[in-house]
Amino acid sequence: MDIFLQQLLNALSLGGTYALLALGLAVVFSIIGLINFAHGELMTTAGYVMAFALAAALPFPLAIILAVAAPVLLAVVMERVAFRPVRGASGTTLLLTSFAVSAILRVLFQNFISARPVPVPMPAALSGVINIGPLHLGIIQSISIATTALMLAGLTLFLNRTVAGRAMRAAAEDFAIVRLMGLRANGVVATAFAISGLLAGVAGLLWVAQRGSVDPLMGFLPVLKAFIAAIIGGLGSLTGAVAGGFLLGFIEVMLQAWLPEAWLPYRDAVAIMLVIAVLLFRPQGLLARKTVLKL
């Protein structure tokens, strides 16, 4: 039982990071029908900014603020430069554009920073472990769980209590009609990208804090996982993305803990098989809703 609880904490921590990333993908997809594969590079950007800010001996809180602000800014610039010109184009065009943005950023990271991992010297105080009875909870892990909870609560408040947030929910249902309210389409889309950048930045910091380094490919795998999570949840559904993220984290952690040793190399394959099983029974995802995409 204790082992199960321990694994549950691990699952919450990993699943929470997937949930933040999946949410970032879903926020943008729900509004303009774009799956932004450059989301991973937003995450990586947060890691690099953190690494350089700490290397420059900036105070830790300032480093965090810069590391989260940079991907927000980059996401907004990305939308303005790369995605706005193709807005309303076919899903394939949007997808290819996002692959291109992702590839360009990765090459820039490799050529102008380094192809090798850059260390991110997190403060030693973060590497401790809290013991609650028989449970060992890493400090970074608990920060990760708490941050996820805080981000989800904050986003819920934003979406339900502010005009901009309600406009985003409305845009996810019917973008053209939001424009009929006199709300600027570009503003709504830019807000969605800023939020996705914020979520990617926070997820990137949590990721880097656990690994201690950042490299050009860092964002690729977690965002692929987040994409899977968003699909399990029902692409375009925000609650679904969060549920899918936690479910995928849970599956991975539990497989890691209980698969026979000989099977461990195939952990991801088994996880994906379980995902396929979920989709066989609910092809539209766990919490799918109809998406109206009209511009």
Binding site residues, other proteins, CB under 8 A: 163, 166-167, 169-170, 173-174, 176-185, 289
Nearer to other proteins, 62 or 157 (CB): 157
**Angle formed by the axes of helices 163-173 and 139-161, to 10°?**
80
Nearer to other proteins, 64 or 155 (CB): 155
Nearer to other proteins, 124 or 180 (CB): 180
How does strand 135-138 pair with strand 129-132? antiparallel
Nearer to other proteins, 65 or 185 (CB): 185
> Strand, helix or coil at 292?
coil
Least distance from C-beta 164 to other proteins, angstroms?
10
Least distance from C-beta 160 to other proteins, angstroms?
9
**Long-range contacts for 212-215 (Cβ within 8 Å, ≥24 apart)?**
212/119, 212/120, 212/121, 212/122, 213/51, 213/117, 213/118, 213/119, 213/120, 214/44, 214/47, 214/48, 214/50, 214/51, 214/117, 214/118, 214/120, 215/44, 215/114, 215/115, 215/116, 215/117, 215/118
Nearer to other proteins, 173 or 213 (CB): 173
Least distance from C-beta 166 to other proteins, angstroms?
5
Least distance from C-beta 229 to other proteins, angstroms?
22
Least distance from C-beta 181 to other proteins, angstroms?
5
